[in-house]
Amino acid sequence: MLTDDALDDAARERIVARGAAQLAARRAPEGRQATPDAVRAVAFEEFALLLDGDTARAALRVWLSASVGG
């Protein structure tokens, strides 16, 4: 998917950001939600991607709404 030539860099970044949000959410202590800072840390540590705060927040929002069934 990430090698699809139809995707631009921004679309690829959003896909990886969503993956980082998913990992951050799964790694958060039980009963606590992941934070945008946690998403940014995971993106950097796991994918060598520097995310800005807006992208991290948006990815986390997408992940949380999808995980609730929204």
Whether 70 shows a pLDDT value over 60: the answer reads no
Instruction: Write down how long the chain is.
Output: 70
Break the chain into its structural domains and give their ranges.
9-67
Whether 25 shows a pLDDT value over 80: the answer reads yes
**Integer Cα distance of 30 and 48 in angstroms:** 26
Q: Residues near 22 by Cβ (< 8 Å), separated by ≥ 6?
A: 63
pLDDT value, residue 41: 98
pLDDT band at 19 (very low <50, low <70, confident <90, very high): very high
Whether 67 shows a pLDDT value over 90: the answer reads no
Q: What is the mean pLDDT of the chain?
A: 91
pLDDT value, residue 29: 94
Question: Which amino acid is it at 65?
Answer: S
